[in-house]
């Protein structure tokens, strides 16, 4: 029966990992897949995660099933981390999922179940998996302008004009912070304007937040999500713990749906549990339990926040260093956007040919759209990258 299958397109980001591994050059630089790396190129297990795992090993006496929505304590801890007090907890339906990807996928299925004709508005560009999952599910997507190729900031006027064409029953997918793949983000006043458009069109926001703590700080990075969720009657939020807890392979995420009253919440909660059951029954628990332990223990939480802040500041330092090197070499401030961008990524804004040239001639690996993982750099490789960029005539 399987001879009917067709070759599916590979994930370009994941394909880069293999190309990088196969490259024999000792001085190669990996700016591809979005995982945090320290100055030695390692992706460490965070201290608080190690401590929580140790404690868990000592105290956990059963691995019996949790619930279809996972352990409610995880939902509570994450709702608190992401939403603060923006929405009363009794109005938030929440279900644990396998990673943030699982939360996004379950959200798309929920949208399709509620509104088979819903269109999902997606930033141009967005994380490629958004597009591939929407296409796979047969959900209509509408790109909205986002990246300004000139300034490498947000094309705010284009974004607002495009979002105004959304209608009630449509969904607007927004990145809560640290936009992937561009690194360009809305400021607070611009978020207010987006909220106004959401309210005037009646479209439902869906916020994908996968990098809380990587941009301006843990609270600041959640501010937009909180503001949107507090302003609209219904908001969908897909949160990932992969990056900010460094537990990528544990597959830890949470899908939340807010509503204005407990009755709607009960229906949403039942539907999230139902959707989990259709796809995988019980969500993974190990990572979710670690996150819950860390967030609810003062000492573990303080240690986690301190390490996360170090991670954030190291990326910020690399951004500033790279922008400065490029300014020195080019004699212009046209790369100043690198210091303005936030999160792991920046889109350099050059052609796929130039990206290939950097890879072939310098062993510098970035995604074809010129997305660079800033965490892939260190103080020694920043000048190498800067020289390569200017040498290539970018």
Among all residues, which ones are annotated catalytic?
127, 208, 210, 243
Q: What is the 3-state secondary structure (H, E, C) of 219-284?
A: HHHHHHHHHHHHHCCCEEEEEECCCCCCCHHHCCEEEEEECCCHHHHHHHHHHHHHHHHHHCCCCC
11 is a site residue for ligand TYF (CB under 6 A) = yes
108 is a site residue for ligand PLP (CB under 6 A) = no
Closest residue to bound ligand TYF by CB? 34
Please provide the DSSP assignment of 47-68 as one string: HHHHHHHHHHHHH--------T
Query: Which of 32, 70, 75, 100 touches ligand PLP by CB under 6 A?
Result: 100
Question: Is the bond preceding 181 in cis, omega lying within 30 degrees of 0?
Answer: yes
> What is the rounded CA–CA span in Å between residue 83 and residue 67?
22
CB of 216 to ligand PLP, least distance (A): 17
CB of 57 to ligand TYF, least distance (A): 28
208 is a site residue for ligand PLP (CB under 6 A) = yes
Three-class secondary structure of residue 95 per DSSP:
strand
Q: Which pair of tokens denotes residue 140?
A: 């209509």
19 is a site residue for ligand TYF (CB under 6 A) = no
106 touches 157 (CB < 8 A): no
CB of 247 to ligand PLP, least distance (A): 9
CB of 90 to ligand PLP, least distance (A): 27
Query: Which of 13, 78, 134, 257 touches ligand TYF by CB under 6 A?
Result: 13
123 is a site residue for ligand PLP (CB under 6 A) = no
290 touches 56 (CB < 8 A): yes
* Interactions with ligand PLP, residue window 253-282 (CB under 6 A): 253
Query: Which of 29, 30, 34, 287 touches ligand TYF by CB under 6 A?
Result: 34
Q: Which pair of tokens denotes residue 72?
A: 């409610």
* Interactions with ligand TYF, residue window 165-184 (CB under 6 A): 180
> What is the rounded CA–CA span in Å between residue 41 and residue 29?
10
* Interactions with ligand TYF, residue window 122-141 (CB under 6 A): 127, 129
Three-class secondary structure of residue 173 per DSSP:
strand
Judged by beta carbon distances under 5 to 8 A according to partner kind, the member of ligand TYF, ligand PLP, none in contact with residue 292 is none
Contacts with ligand PLP by CB under 6 A lie at 34, 99-101, 104, 127, 175, 180, 208, 210, 240, 242-243, 248, 253
């Amino acid at each position: 029966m399987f001879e009917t299958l067709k070759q599916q397109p590979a994930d370009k980001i994941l394909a880069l990992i293999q190309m990088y591994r196969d490259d024999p050059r000792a001085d190669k630089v990996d700016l591809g897949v979005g995982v945090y790396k320290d100055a030695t190129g390692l992706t460490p297990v965070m201290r608080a995660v190690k401590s929580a795992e140790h404690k868990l090993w000592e105290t956990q006496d059963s691995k019996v099933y949790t619930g279809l929505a996972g352990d409610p304590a995880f939902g509570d801890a994450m709702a608190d981390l992401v939403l603060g007090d923006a929405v009363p907890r009794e109005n938030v339906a929440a279900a644990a999922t396998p990673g943030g990807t699982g939360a996004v996928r379950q959200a798309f299925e929920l949208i399709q179940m509620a509104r088979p004709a819903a269109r999902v508005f997606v930033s141009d560009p967005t994380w490629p998996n958004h597009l591939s999952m929407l296409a796979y599910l047969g959900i209509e997507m509408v790109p909205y302008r986002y990246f300004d190729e000139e300034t490498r900031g947000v094309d705010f006027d284009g974004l607002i004009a495009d979002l105004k064409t959304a209608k009630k029953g449509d969904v607007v997918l927004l990145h809560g912070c640290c936009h992937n793949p561009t690194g360009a983000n809305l400021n607070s006043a611009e978020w207010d304007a987006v909220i106004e458009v959401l309210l005037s069109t009646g479209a439902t926001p869906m916020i994908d937040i996968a990098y809380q703590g990587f941009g301006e700080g843990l609270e600041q990075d959640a501010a937009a999500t909180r503001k949107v969720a507090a302003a609209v009657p219904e908001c969908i939020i897909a949160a990932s713990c992969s990056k900010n807890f460094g537990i990528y392979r544990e597959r830890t995420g949470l899908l939340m749906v807010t509503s204005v009253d407990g009755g709607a919440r009960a229906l949403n909660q039942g539907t999230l549990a139902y959707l989990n059951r259709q796809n995988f029954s019980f969500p993974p628990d190990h990572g979710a339990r670690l996150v819950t332990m860390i967030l609810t223990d003062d000492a573990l939480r303080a240690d986690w926040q301190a390490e996360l802040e170090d991670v954030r500041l190291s990326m910020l330092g690399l951004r500033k260093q790279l922008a400065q090197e490029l300014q020195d070499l080019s004699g212009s401030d046209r790369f100043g956007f690198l210091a303005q961008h936030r999160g792991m990524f920046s889109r350099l804004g050059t052609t796929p040919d130039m990206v290939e040239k950097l890879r072939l001639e310098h062993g510098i690996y970035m995604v074809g759209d010129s997305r660079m993982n800033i965490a892939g750099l260190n103080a020694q490789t920043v000048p190498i990258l800067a020289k390569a960029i200017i040498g290539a005539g970018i």
